[in-house]
Copies of this chain bind each other. A is one copy, B any other.
């Protein structure tokens, strides 16, 4: 079955109940209601604190076949998932689905627990590191394909009851004895708890795991005591070096700076850059570098923006502090400078993943973006964007907020070098579609800029511009002249070799990742 992104989706996929094809950005109108977590009675003066993780697994009554969730705010410094999965395995519990908001190389340990049958399914935004390689090569190691969701799509799936969480094990840098938790205090502070807020609101059981159990009331709280069943104190929830390694620096790469400069120019020339505008910059080098050029233009023209959204970095936090924007909405705080900002700057606002990007509520903040600048692992002639697999078909990226912000923003800019590692980045068809061409307005490369022909208004506005505007086909041709046309990666056509299903943010299937046939 061919979906609206032109991808061939099997009629049946193991472990996927209803196959809903991607039909366009806002093609589906749900007629359901939100899911509700299990109701419990809170008995006065009950102590929520348990001795250890084992006790929490026992109290919850975790069973074979259930789904447990984690958040990835500790990034590559996370200790909590390993601590929990080890204890689950020690108890002989099998067939667990892990639904983490994302996965980092520190979660490569899961390979062992997949091999011994403790973990049999994964749902995540990203798949990277050795685990990504392992699953790309051994898709049958799991009982069903990995489900890849955007951040907004995951919030949607949880709220709509498609992703039901039996137990959420939430790493928290600080909480009080009643369960009020924040990511802004303590030695493992990571800032916004945007992803965790959804899990704790919808999971049937919520266990906080903290290295900072405070005597005094904790507030403002990101997770309220009313959603917290148990609390376990541990020595360390994460490795500070992995949580946030200093401030993300501005790139010095001439190519990335050129891409950023082009993006800022387009914003100016299309009229986006005006009083009260809003934007998101992805965390990639080129997209972040847009800040440098936008700042110059804003200061020169005395423009104040309304808000930025993120994934907030120190680079944006500085613009906020300097009054260039009035507010920053933050689901995930990217570096130590931004963590300091969310602790101290009241205009740096923590939001949930649903507030950020869930397409199924009365209006996530991405819907009010004037522009977003996003990177890509590759793009294609239909303006489709890949952000999850490399050109060899290996899982090494994440869906993140890519398709969410692209769908919401009035102007979606993709920044990508024309050639990367002797490979052209403009493909006939991307290896995998994360964001459909429907949502992409301009593709910016270091050798030229292609406007999606559907955006006639942009084509008109940029007519006569000094920018190197050309067609996407011309861009591909230039790339081929440099490095030649690449060979297509051969993929297994066996449906048992589907590594992952890429859900579009509305829950439809936009693509599947198939096992590459390697030499």
Contacts and interface: CB of A to CB of B under 8 A. Distances in A.
Contact of A42 (B31, B35, B361): B361
A225 B365 contact: yes
A453 interface: no
Nearest to A348: B219
Interface in A330-359: 346-347, 349, 354-355, 358-359
Contacts of A90: none
B33 A408 contact: no
B408 A178 contact: no
B228 A362 contact: yes
Given A43-B367, A219-B349, A179 B225 contact: no
A221 to B, nearest CB: 9
Among A41, A161, A366, chain B packs the most CB atoms within 10 A around the CB of A41
A226 B43 contact: no
Interface in A260-317: 276, 306-307
Interface residues of A, number: 65
B34 A364 contact: no
A34 B36 contact: yes
A229 interface: yes
B226 A326 contact: no
Contacts of A224: 355
Contacts of A407: 44
A178 B363 CA distance: 8
Interface in A204-256: 206, 215-217, 219-220, 224-229
A26 B41 contact: yes
Contact of A355 (B226, B276, B364): B226
A137 interface: no
Nearest to A34: B36
Contact of A361 (B40, B364, B367): B40
Contacts of A28: 41
Contact of A44 (B29, B40, B229, B367): B367
A210 to B, nearest CB: 16
Nearest to A27: B41
A160 interface: yes
Nearest to A328: B217
Contacts of A216: 306, 326-327
A311 to B, nearest CB: 18
Contact of A46 (B35, B363, B369): B363
Contacts of A225: 355, 362-363, 365
A178 to B, nearest CB: 6
A410 interface: yes
Given A226-B363, A228-B362, 8 more contacts: A30-B40, A30-B41, A34-B39, A42-B363, A44-B410, A45-B367, A220-B220, A224-B355
Contacts of A41: 26, 28-30, 359-360, 506
A327 B229 CA distance: 22
B226 A354 contact: yes
Contacts of A228: 362-363
Contacts of A38: 33-34
B160 A39 contact: yes
A278 B359 CA distance: 42
